[in-house]
Amino acid sequence: MTYKSLTAALDHYRQNEWRADIVISTGDLVQDDSAGAYRHFCELLGELALPVYCVPGNHDVRAVMQEVLAQNQINYCKSIEHGNWLIAGIDSCVDGKAGGHIAATELDRLDSEIYGSGMQHVMVCLHHPPVQMNSKWLDSVGLANADEFLARVSAPGNVKLALFGHVHQPCETEHDGITILGTPSTCRQFTPGSDAFAVDDNPPAYRRVNLYADGRFEHKLIWVNDEPVF
Ligand SMILES: [Fe+2]
């Protein structure tokens, strides 16, 4: 199902005029822990002929993910400088746990990349939500040190955007001038505001983000509903 719905999302991108310079995947690339599943992901994304940047999610197996991505020239937790923006990918996962926690070493790496970059503006990408989702079960597997993360990204004054995955539903909020965006899955979506695990009938989705050299940005959530995929 995930293969089919990801294909539908990529087809939607190809069939429309908006064009990307890079692709960012905010984790949970596969469900079954297999190298074969990561190869499928690489095959599908490879068809776009664009640079792809990934961070791990709680369903990913870091070692397998890193190995297969490296074999396919796909970037893992790597930061890039692009058009006056630093785009930083960080690891928010904890082995064996659904919930996230960003290690001190990872927060320090983020700091050094932000302060060491010549880019004026910063977008940070991670898997777990740094904000509450007002969903009892999802908030029980959120980012344990969200406050610490938000304090770190607020301090430099040039972090404009934080993108996350994990929650399979849209989220658009703000913290201290930083726009925080959660993007639904390229597969099934979770019911917003639900106390317990529940999926809804929303289609796969992806988000278009335009970053401009003067620090402006635009974003648009795209539901892939041109054709039934489930
Ligand atoms: Fe997740």
| 39 falls within a domain | yes
Task: Give me the CATH number covering residue 171.
Answer: 3.60.21.10
Q: Rounded to whole angstroms, what are the CA distances from 183 to 35, 49, 117, 186, 219? A: 25, 22, 26, 9, 11
Task: Identify whether the C-beta of residue 143 lies closer than 8 Å to the C-beta of residue 130.
Answer: yes
Distance 181 CA to ligand 1 centre (A): 15
**Ligand 1 center from residue 185 Cα (angstroms):** 10
Q: Give me the domain span that covers residue 219.
A: 2-223
Considering the domain boundaries, does residue 192 fall inside one?
A: yes
Can you say how many angstroms the Cα of residue 57 is from the centroid of all Cα atoms in its chain?
A: 9
Residue 1: per-residue pLDDT: 79
34 has a pLDDT exceeding 90: yes
CB 22 within 8 A of CB 52: yes
Instruction: Classify residue 45: in a domain, yes or no.
Output: yes
Provide the number of structural domains found in the chain. Answer: 1
Q: What's the gap in Å between 79 CA and the centre of ligand 1?
A: 21
Q: Encode pLDDT of 37-49 as tens digits.
A: 999 999 999 999 9
pLDDT by residue (tens digit) across 197-229? Answer: 999 999 999 999 999 999 999 999 999 975 555
Residue 103 maps to a domain: yes
Residue range 145-158: average pLDDT?
98
Residue 99 CA to ligand 1 centre (angstroms): 8
The reported pLDDT for the residue numbered 226 is 56
Would you state the pLDDT for residue 225?
78
Is the residue at 230 inside a domain? no
Q: Is residue 44 part of a domain?
A: yes
Whether residue 20 lies inside any domain: the answer is: yes
